[in-house]
Amino acid sequence: MAKVRFEGEEKEVVDGGAVLEALEELGLPFGCTDGLCGTCMSTIVDGKDNLSKMSEKEEDFDLEEGKRLACQCKINGGTAEFSID
């Protein structure tokens, strides 16, 4: 099982699974959950290599280095830590 962290707490996520539900339970804000609004834009503090490649929607968003839309992320394994600046 993979793990996601946000604000010092963590949840388990099945390897290869979306992180949206776990991060929402941890308090990360979400809006549209479809990669359109940017509400869930996060900095990946640790474990960016454990996440899926950027989706087309993320690429269209032209995110800064180290930023991801949490609603679009899947975790391949290990741990990834998300933060909101």
How many domains does the chain contain in total? 1
Average pLDDT of the segment spanning 5-19: 98
Domain that holds residue 37: 2-83
Average per-residue pLDDT in the chain? 97
Q: Is residue 51 within 8 Å of residue 44, measured between CB atoms?
A: yes
Cα dihedral 56, 19, 70, 64 in deg (nearest 10): -80
CATH number of the domain that 71 lies in?
Answer: 3.10.20.30
- pTM value? 0.94
The 3-state DSSP class for residue 39 equals coil
Q: Tens digits of per-residue pLDDT, 46-85? A: 999 999 999 999 999 999 999 999 999 999 999 999 999 7
Sheet containing strand 9-13, strands side by side? 9-13, 2-6, 79-83, 41-46, 67-69
